[in-house]
C-alpha cells in the first residue's frame, strides 16, 4: 500500500490574484500572450441529451443546478466559519459512483490542447473553480472514468507531462492534497457537491490555446472522477486563486459570451487586453477577504417594469465576516436571491402582466404561464449597480421551460449570498478585468 503524507490545506474559490503574484512569476514563461480568443460551445452542441421533451431537459438542468448551488453554499459557509478544509483521509478513496445529476460543473465548453504533442479536448469552463483538470488514463478500476466526447488523455504519450513534488509551491496552494511519499509526488482532490469529485495526480503540462502555447501549467490529471460531466474531458478553472487558469497564464482580463443553452452555434472565450468591449457597462469587482475565488459585484437594486423595488441595501451587502454579497457565476443556471428580494420581484412582475390567468408553479419556479407564445410587453427587469443599469433581455428572465410553458426564471436561496446565474447572462459578453477591479456586461456582444 502506498504510504500517504497529509499536507496543509488552503481554501480555493473566486476573485483573482494580481498577475504579479509570486506563483505567477514562477510558473509563467516570459512571452507575450496579450490576447487570444477561443470558441465557446453550449453543452447541447457536444452532448446530445437523452431527453426528448423540453420539460425533461429543463428538469434535468434544474436538478444539476440545485447541486451546483448547494456546492457554492457549502464553500461560502466553510470559508466564513473556518471549517472548510480537512486533510484527505484514506477512506475518501473508496467512494461509489452515484447519479450524474449530482455534478456541479458548468454548461459551456472550450477546446484546448493538452500535452506535447497537443491533444485537443473539450473542457467545461467554470468561474466558480480554480483547479483545471482533465480525465487521464488509466482510470481507477473501482471508479471508472465517465464518458466524454474526446479520447481520454494518456500521460505516457506526452513528453511535457511532469508530476509535481510534494513540497512544490503549487501543491501547497491546493485546498485538498496528499503526498505519495514513495515517489514524492503530489495528488489533488476537488469536491463539487453531492458526492461529485475529481481526484488524481497534480502535474504540470503544456497547454495550447489558439496560436499560443504555455508550458508548466499546473493541472489535475484525474484518475477518479465521479459525476456525469456529460461529454467534457474535464474543467477549466476561471476563478480567482493563483492556481486558476487566467492567473497562471498571466492574463490581466478575460471574457465570455454565453449563447442560448439549446443552440448548436459557438460564441467565444477571450483572454487579454482585447477581451473587454469599450461600450461595456462596467461595475466594481469587490473583494471578499474570506473568499478569493468568487467574483463579487456591488448590486444595489432591481427594477421591474421601470419600478424600483423597495429592497434594503443590506440585502446585497458583503459584510466584514465575508457573508452576503452577490457573485457572478458561469456554472449556476438560475439567478438566486434571498426570499424577501425574490418575493418583491415576483409580485411586481405579476402585477405588470396584463390579461393573463393567475400564475402556477412548474418545476423549480412558482410563477409560470401556459401560453402559445411569449407575450409582448412583459415587464422589463433591470439590475442596478450604483449609477449603472443593466436591462436584461426578456429571454433572460422569462424562459420557456416546457412546450408552451413560460416561467419567471429566478429562484430563492437559503443564505445571504446571492448568485447571478448564466440564464441571466445569456446573449451578453461578461468581462472580468482583475487589474482594474471591474466586471463588464455588454448585451448583444456575442
For residues 422 and 335, the answer to whether their CB atoms sit within 8 Å is no
Domain assignment of residue 167, yes or no:
yes
pLDDT at residue 24, rounded to an integer: 34
Domain assignment of residue 105, yes or no:
yes
Strands 119-126 and 108-114: antiparallel
Instruction: Compute the distance between CA of residue 88 and CA of residue 188 in angstroms, rounded to an integer.
Output: 9
Residues 159 and 208 in one domain: yes
pLDDT at residue 25, rounded to an integer: 30
Rounded to a whole number of angstroms, the distance between the first and last alpha carbons of the chain is 52
Q: Is 262 helix (H, G, I), strand (E, B) or coil?
A: coil
Q: How far is CA 343 from the centre of its chain?
A: 26
pLDDT at residue 87, rounded to an integer: 36
Instruction: Compute the distance between CA of residue 426 and CA of residue 434 in angstroms, rounded to an integer.
Output: 22
Q: Is 256 helix (H, G, I), strand (E, B) or coil?
A: strand
Instruction: Compute the distance between CA of residue 201 and CA of residue 220 in angstroms, rounded to an integer.
Output: 6
pLDDT at residue 338, rounded to an integer: 96
pLDDT digits (tens, 9 = 90+) for 368-394: 999 998 888 899 999 999 889 999 999
Residues 167 and 257 in one domain: yes
Domain assignment of residue 132, yes or no:
yes
Residues 124 and 264 in one domain: yes
Domain assignment of residue 122, yes or no:
yes
Strands 234-237 and 119-126: parallel
Domain assignment of residue 28, yes or no:
no
Residues 204 and 302 in one domain: no
Per the structure, how many domains does the chain have?
Answer: 2
Our answer to whether residue 329 is catalytic in this structure is yes
Residues 290 and 159 in one domain: no
Domain carrying residue 220: 36-79+101-271
- Buried-state track 67-106, b at ≥16 Cβ within 10 A, e below 16: bbbbbbbebbebbbeeebeeebeeebbeeeeeebbbbbbb
Provide the grid cell at 248: 497562471
| Catalytic one of 175, 191, 194, 329 | 329
For residues 262 and 427, the answer to whether their CB atoms sit within 8 Å is no
Instruction: Compute the distance between CA of residue 57 and CA of residue 242 in angstroms, rounded to an integer.
Output: 36
For residues 384 and 302, the answer to whether their CB atoms sit within 8 Å is yes
Residues 305 and 403 in one domain: yes
For residues 175 and 9, the answer to whether their CB atoms sit within 8 Å is yes
Name the stretches of the chain with pLDDT < 50: 1-32, 83-106
Provide the grid cell at 91: 477512506
Exposed, middle or buried, 129 (CB in 10 Å: 0-12/13-18/19+)? buried
Q: Which of 131, 79, 355 is nearest to 243 (CA)?
A: 131
pLDDT at residue 425, rounded to an integer: 94
Last residue of a domain, one of 249, 271, 293: 271
Domain assignment of residue 121, yes or no:
yes
User: Is-above-0.85 flag for pTM?
Assistant: no
Residues 234 and 290 in one domain: no
Last residue of a domain, one of 271, 294, 316: 271
**CATH of residue 70:** 2.40.70.10
Residues 114 and 186 in one domain: yes
Give the largest CA-CA distance in the chain. Answer: 72
pLDDT at residue 51, rounded to an integer: 58
79: part of which helix (H) or strand (E)?
helix 54-81
Residues 291 and 407 in one domain: yes
- Rg of the chain over Cα atoms, rounded to whole angstroms, equals 21
Residues 327 and 267 in one domain: no
| Catalytic one of 126, 130, 194, 433 | 126
The DSSP letter of residue 117 is T
pLDDT at residue 388, rounded to an integer: 93
Instruction: Compute the distance between CA of residue 445 and CA of residue 427 in angstroms, rounded to an integer.
Output: 7
Q: Is 402 left (phi over 0), alpha (psi -120 to 50) or beta?
A: beta
Q: What is the DSSP string of 29-75?
A: -S----EEEEEEEEHHHHS--S--SHHHHHHHHHHHHHHHHHHHHHH
Domain assignment of residue 16, yes or no:
no
Residues 285 and 266 in one domain: no
Residues 152 and 227 in one domain: yes
Our answer to whether residue 126 is catalytic in this structure is yes
CB neighbourhood size of 234 (10 A)? 27
Last residue of a domain, one of 271, 294, 317: 271
Domain assignment of residue 320, yes or no:
yes
Amino acid at each position: 500500500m502506498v504510504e500517504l503524507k497529509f499536507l496543509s490545506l488552503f481554501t480555493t474559490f473566486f476573485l483573482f490574484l494580481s498577475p504579479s503574484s509570486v506563483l505567477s512569476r514562477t510558473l509563467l514563461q516570459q512571452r507575450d500572450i496579450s490576447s487570444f480568443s477561443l470558441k465557446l460551445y453550449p453543452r447541447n452542441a457536444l452532448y446530445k441529451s437523452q431527453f426528448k421533451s423540453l420539460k425533461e431537459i429543463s428538469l434535468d438542468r434544474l436538478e444539476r443546478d440545485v447541486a451546483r448551488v448547494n456546492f457554492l453554499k457549502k464553500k461560502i459557509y466553510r470559508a466564513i466559519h473556518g471549517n472548510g478544509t480537512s486533510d484527505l483521509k484514506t477512506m475518501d478513496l473508496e467512494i461509489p459512483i452515484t447519479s450524474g445529476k449530482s455534478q456541479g460543473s458548468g454548461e459551456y465548453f472550450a477546446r484546448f490542447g493538452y500535452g506535447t504533442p497537443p491533444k485537443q479536448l473539450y473542457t467545461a469552463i467554470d468561474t466558480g473553480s480554480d483547479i483545471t483538470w482533465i480525465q487521464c488514463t488509466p482510470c481507477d478500476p473501482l471508479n471508472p472514468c465517465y464518458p466524454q466526447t474526446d479520447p481520454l488523455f494518456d500521460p505516457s504519450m506526452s513528453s511535457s507531462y511532469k508530476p509535481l513534488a510534494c513540497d512544490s509551491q503549487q501543491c501547497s496552494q491546493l485546498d485538498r492534497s496528499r503526498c505519495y511519499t514513495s515517489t514524492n509526488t503530489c495528488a489533488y482532490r476537488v469536491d463539487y457537491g453531492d458526492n461529485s469529485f475529481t481526484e488524481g495526480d497534480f502535474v504540470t503540462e503544456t497547454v495550447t490555446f489558439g496560436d499560443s502555447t504555455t508550458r508548466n501549467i499546473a493541472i489535475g490529471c484525474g484518475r477518479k472522477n465521479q459525476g456525469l460531466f456529460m461529454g467534457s474531458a474535464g474543467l477549466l478553472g476561471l476563478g480567482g486563486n493563483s492556481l486558476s487558469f487566467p492567473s497562471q497564464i498571466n492574463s490581466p482580463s478575460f471574457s465570455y459570451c454565453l449563447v442560448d443553452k439549446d443552440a448548436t452555434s459557438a460564441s467565444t472565450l477571450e483572454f487579454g487586453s482585447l477581451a473587454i468591449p469599450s461600450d461595456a457597462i462596467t461595475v466594481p469587482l469587490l473583494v471578499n477577504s474570506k473568499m478569493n475565488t468568487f467574483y463579487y459585484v456591488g448590486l444595489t437594486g432591481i427594477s421591474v417594469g421601470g419600478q424600483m423595488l423597495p429592497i434594503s441595501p443590506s440585502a446585497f451587502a458583503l459584510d466584514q465576516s465575508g457573508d452576503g454579497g452577490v457573485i457572478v457565476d458561469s456554472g449556476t443556471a438560475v439567478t438566486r436571491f434571498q426570499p424577501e428580494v425574490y418575493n418583491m420581484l415576483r409580485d411586481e412582475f405579476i402585477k405588470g402582466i396584463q390579461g393573463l390567468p393567475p400564475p402556477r408553479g412548474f418545476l423549480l419556479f412558482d410563477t409560470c404561464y401556459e401560453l402559445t407564445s411569449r407575450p409582448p410587453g412583459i415587464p422589463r427587469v433591470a439590475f442596478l449597480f450604483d449609477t449603472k443599469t443593466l436591462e436584461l433581455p426578456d429571454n433572460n428572465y422569462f424562459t420557456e421551460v416546457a412546450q408552451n410553458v413560460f416561467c419567471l426564471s429566478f429562484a430563492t436561496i437559503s443564505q445571504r449570498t446571492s448568485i447571478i446565474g448564466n440564464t441571466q447572462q445569456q446573449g451578453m459578453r461578461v468581462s472580468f478585468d482583475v487589474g482594474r477591479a471591474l466586471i463588464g456586461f455588454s448585451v448583444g456582444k456575442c
